[in-house]
Amino acid sequence: MKRLNIRDSFSTKNFKFGGYAAMMTAIVLAILIVVNLVVGQLNIKIDLTKNQLYSLSEQTYDVINNLDQDITIYALYETGKENTAFNEILNNYSEHSKRIHIEYKDPVLYPQFASQYDKEGGGIKTGSLIIVGSNNKFKVISPHELINYSMNQQTFQTIAESLAVEQKVTGAIQYIMAEKIPTIYTLEGHEEVSLPGDIIKQLGQENYEVKNLNLLTMDKFPEDGDILMVLSPRRDISIEEAEKINEFLEKQGRAIFIMGIKENEMPNMEGIINSYGVGLENAIIVERDTSRQFQNPVYIIPGFAEHDILNPLRAKKLPVLIPFAQAIEILQVKKKSIDIAPLLISSEDSYAKTNPNSETIEKEAEDLEGPFNVAVAITDKWYEDNQELITRVVVIGNKQFLDPQINAVSAGGNMDFFLNSINWLVDREESITIRPKSLLSRYLNLNMFQVLLFSGIAVILIPLAIGIVGIVVWLRRKNK
C-alpha cells in the first residue's frame, strides 16, 4: 500500500508543478552562470553615476586617439592605500589606448623615485600623479588638484565640490604632446579690467601661459606672443602702441578684444577694431524676450550662431549670460579678405539704449532696433607667394561676463565660451574645455502634498495591491 502511494505521488499535480519549477530554476541559474562568464570575459563596465564620474569624455578620447608617443602615468600610493575612484578613471586611459601605461609607485618602497620629477625642490606628495611622455616632458599633478573644494560660508566647512581627475590628466597629456605652449599677453597701462584668478588658473590648465604686456616700454610686440588680450581699457592707447598691435596682427597675429561701454573716446583702439570690419555701438542691449533674459532685461542670454566655438556649448546645452552687453556693428566697408562670423546674437525683440544717462529702460526714439551681435569671430585670410596666411580676431561687447558670479549663474557656460574662443584663435578647436564633474548631491524637494501622495503610494497602495494579488492567487488554487 505504501509503495503504491509513493508511486502515485509522482503523478500528482503538486509534483508536476514542483518539478517544472525546479527545472525552470535550474535553467535560469545555468543561463545566469553562462552570462556572468561571458560578461566577465568581455570586461564590460557601465557607469551608472549621474555625472558619469568614472567615464572619460569624447574630448579625452579625441586626444588619446591621436597620441604620437607613449605616455606613462605614475600614481604615488602606498600599497593597499590606492584611491579606488581615481584608479577606475586612470584604468580607462590605459584600456582605451595601448600607448598609455599606468604604474603604481609606493613612496615607501621607492623613496627616491619622485625626486627626479621635483623641479621646484619642495617634494612630491603621496597621492600625486606624474604624467611622463617618451619625449621626457612631464607634468606633476598634486593630490589637492584632483578634487576641487569649496567652503560653506555658514559652517566654514570644506566641501568636496567636483572631481577633476580627467581634466588634469588629459590636460597634462596635451601639455606633453604640444610642441609649444601658447603665450597670451594681456595689455596693461590703460586702466584695463583685471583678469579673474580662476580664469588665469583655467588657462594654465588648458596649457596657456599668461603674461602682462606694457607696449609703451617695448619696441614691438614680443616674439613669443601668440595672443593679444585687451580687457576693456578706460583710456585710449597711444598711436605708437596701435602701430605695434597692427604690426603684430598683420603677421598672422591673434587677438581677443573684450570691450565694455566706453567712458572716454578711444579713436586709436577703435581704429584697430574697425580695420577688421566691425564697430562698437556703445549702446546697451535691452532684451524684451523674457526667455532670453535672466531676471533683468539687461542681463541677456543671447542666441548661438553656427560656429566651432559654440558647438561644444550647444552639445552640453550650456547658456552664456551677458550683463550690460553692447551691440557690435558689422561695417559695410571692409577688406575683401575679411570674413566676419556672428557668435552671440540678441533676439529680434531687443533694442539698444544709446544714451548712457537715460533715466528709463523703455525704448526711446534714438534707441536702436535689434537684433544685435554681442560677439563676433573674424578671419582675415590672404596669400603671399602661394602661401595662405591667416589672422584671427574675436570681439566681445562686454566686460562683466567673466565675473565668477556671472559665470556661476551660467553654470560655467561663460567660462567655456571664453576658453573655446581662445582655443579657436590658435587653431586648437579640438582642445575644447573638459570640465570637472560635480560631486554634490542633488536633493529632491517635495511639497507637503507630494510627500503625502508618495507616502500613501508606498505605505498603503503598493502593500494593498500585493495583498490583493496574493488573495486572488490563493483563492484560485483553493478552488482547483
Give 11-40 pLDDT, tens digit per residue. 665 656 666 677 888 888 889 888 877 766
Cα gap 264→247, rounded to integer Å: 25
> DSSP assignment, residue 99?
T
- pLDDT bucket at 240, cuts 50 / 70 / 90: very high
Residues of the chain with pLDDT > 90, as a percent, come to: 50
- For residue 265, which amino acid is it? E
User: With contact defined as beta carbons under 8 Å apart, do 422 and 199 qualify?
Assistant: no
Looking at residue 52, its pLDDT comes to: 72
106 contacts 49 by C-beta, under 8 angstroms = no
Q: Which phi and psi angles does 351 have, rounded to 5°? A: -145, 170
Tens of pLDDT, residues 247-274: 999 999 999 999 999 888 999 999 999 9
Residue 201 has pLDDT above 70, yes or no: yes
Across 232-347, the runs of DSSP E, i.e. the strands, are 254-258, 278-286, 299-300, 303-304, 322-323, 326-330, 338-345
Kindly report the pTM of this predicted structure: 0.69
- The domain 183-438 having CATH identifier 3.30.43: the answer here is no
Mean pLDDT, residues 54-67: 86
Q: Output the pLDDT for position 167.
A: 84
Instruction: Please state, for a pLDDT cut of 70, what percent of the chain lies above it.
Output: 87
Q: How do residues 419-462 score in pLDDT, each as one tens digit? A: 999 999 998 766 556 666 766 555 455 566 777 888 888 888 88
Pairing of strands 71-76, 100-105: parallel
56 has pLDDT over 80: yes
Kind of pairing between the strands at 209-213 and 183-187? parallel
pLDDT of residue 1: 46
The residues near 352 (Cβ < 8 Å, ≥ 6 apart) are 281, 283, 284, 285, 286, 326, 327, 367, 368, 370, 372
Nearest CA among 268, 274, 270, 276 for reference residue 239: 268
Residue 9's pLDDT is 55
Confidence bin at 73 (pLDDT 50/70/90)? very high
pLDDT for 16: 60
Q: How far apart are CA 1 and CA 391, in angstroms?
A: 105
Residues near 330 by Cβ (< 8 Å), separated by ≥ 6? 277, 278, 340, 342, 373, 376
What is the pLDDT at residue 247? 96
The span from the CA of 217 to the CA of 185, in Å, is 14
Q: Which CATH class is domain 58-168?
A: alpha beta
Q: Which residue has the higher pLDDT, 46 or 419?
A: 419
Q: In the predicted model, what is the mean pLDDT of the chain?
A: 86
What is the grid cell recorded at 425?
584663435
Which tens digit of pLDDT belongs to each residue from 143-166?
Answer: 988 887 665 656 656 677 778 899
Q: How confident is the model over 355-369, as a mean pLDDT?
A: 86
